[in-house]
Structure 1
């Protein structure tokens, strides 16, 4: 059990399979790619219908192989107030001084800073990207389960990314009337899950990584019927403690988190996880994927194989 985040150790070993997306192509530097690569980075010559067929075929064999597969859209939140401050002061000075305080008299970035207008625009751009790709002759498969870090910047990015596509922008609005169409409104089997274990890394005590109270988070998302992690303490006891994470510990935490998500999403082949740059980098490492820092608001798809470990089933 991961004591800080109250999740069991992973039941699986994960691997992001190559040959599906440009992010695993060694000939293409990841830092050269835009936040949203064409067709979300699907390799040239690949078609989404082939990806969906591969998922179905491989998962049909799961009972015999102890393996299961999912298409995971890993998303980084849009620009937050703290990102602007880091750019203003530079990463070295930010880490040494400004990240440890709550603001500079002009901006407030701690605790739990919101998206900037640019950040909201990035999430809205992602929404437009989804709508465009869904209308393509070879449409992208839409996630049917959604997960987010509890931080405002992460959950708000998730909301804006799928507003009017998966759920109504107005929680009291009938789905069939959103944007005057039903073609982009997918049935929502499960409301998004806000999970503590998807938070940013704890290498340092950056005030932007202290979350809001659980009751505040629950009140924010109750109108949308989102599910808030039942194990989350009211106060941010993790931030208040002296808990720190090495690179290896962070990788293990995201492996445990992905295992937890995997089980919650049983029967769902396509899922979305919205979190933070450090959390995404740890997720990549946990999946034996190229380790790189995604751009703010970026989306990186992974075709992931999970192999259940024998010790977890004996």
Structure 2
């Protein structure tokens, strides 16, 4: 027999990274040609988009627009203090840069880097991450989870991750957040990617909402922790 233990509610502020050079490339060539050919390469004669591309100037300005919004809300009591909020980010340069530009001086504690927040992996070169060493040098203030390997062991050139597997990852991340050793804060910031956030919304039975680059959506999540009677 299962007995109700407790109910928890958190607000997840889920943000997609700003425009990266791979997004620019998709616009340059058109989505059809991009998906059929260019996304499997690392560059053309003008730009490089893989692996692990950085933000474009537009991408940085998109993230800075979020920062201006939070800076305006902070004096009005927005719950973004270190004891109210915790920050998570995927292990990619574009998400790390987006988080830094979005929060700036408002960032009250070290963001935690979880691989479960990464983008769909395999095939597309933009979705292959940098080594752990490179990421730690780029983001020395971030807290990297212990299990993040040095090399990207998940990305395969000829094997693209499925939505079903991404939803398993999203569910695992939420189980971590709401578990006994999970986040104690009510407010959570997650800076990630379009596909993982799309699948997170599916796991939460939320209506579909495709985030544009540099866009953030708040989602209220209620979880019930159960325990079995002895």
* Same fold (TM > 0.5): yes
Q: How big is the shift at 1:93?
A: 1.1
Correspondent of 1:144 among 72, 85, 91: 85
Instruction: Show the 5 A alignment for 1:104-183.
Output: 104-136=44-76, 139-142=77-80, 144-166=85-107
Name the structure 2 match of 1:253: 169
Correspondent of 1:95 among 35, 44, 48: 35
Question: Contact (CA 8 Å) 1:145, 1:265: kept in 2 or not?
Answer: no
TM-score by length of 2: 0.90
Structure 1 distance, partners of 2:32, 2:45, is 20
Is 1:297 matched up with 2:214? yes
1:88–1:309: structure 2 CA closer, same or farther, 3 Å change rule? farther
Identify the range of structure 1 (79-88 vs 190-199) with the bigger mean alpha-carbon deviation.
Answer: 190-199
Runs of 4+, deviation exceeding 4 Å: none
1:229–1:99: structure 2 CA closer, same or farther, 3 Å change rule? same
Q: How big is the shift at 1:301?
A: 0.3
Correspondent of 2:188 among 260, 271, 278: 271
Question: Contact (CA 8 Å) 2:16, 2:212: kept in 1 or not?
Answer: yes
TM-score by length of 1: 0.67
Name the structure 1 match of 2:137: 219
Name the structure 2 match of 1:192: 111
Task: Structure 1: give runs of 5+ residues left out of the alignment.
Answer: 1-62, 167-187
Larger Rg: 1
Task: Structure 2: give runs of 5+ residues left out of the alignment.
Answer: none
Q: How big is the shift at 1:101?
A: 0.3
Q: How many aligned residue pairs are there?
A: 224
Q: How big is the shift at 1:100?
A: 0.3
Q: How big is the shift at 1:64?
A: 6.0
Question: Contact (CA 8 Å) 2:117, 2:170: kept in 1 or not?
Answer: yes
Question: Contact (CA 8 Å) 1:71, 1:304: kept in 2 or not?
Answer: yes
Correspondent of 1:201 among 102, 120, 123: 120
Q: How big is the shift at 1:135?
A: 3.0
Question: Contact (CA 8 Å) 1:78, 1:115: kept in 2 or not?
Answer: yes
RMSD: 2.1
Q: How big is the shift at 1:244?
A: 3.4
Correspondent of 1:281 among 174, 181, 198: 198
Structure 2 distance, partners of 1:132, 1:247, is 37
Q: Secondary structure at the match of 2:188?
A: strand
Structure 1 distance, partners of 2:146, 2:158, is 23
Please state which structure has a larger fraction of its residues in strand.
Answer: 2
Q: How big is the shift at 1:290?
A: 1.0
Question: Contact (CA 8 Å) 2:5, 2:225: kept in 1 or not?
Answer: no
Q: How big is the shift at 1:134?
A: 2.1
Q: How big is the shift at 1:233?
A: 1.3
Correspondent of 1:231 among 147, 165, 169: 147
Question: Contact (CA 8 Å) 1:198, 1:279: kept in 2 or not?
Answer: yes
Q: How big is the shift at 1:67?
A: 2.1
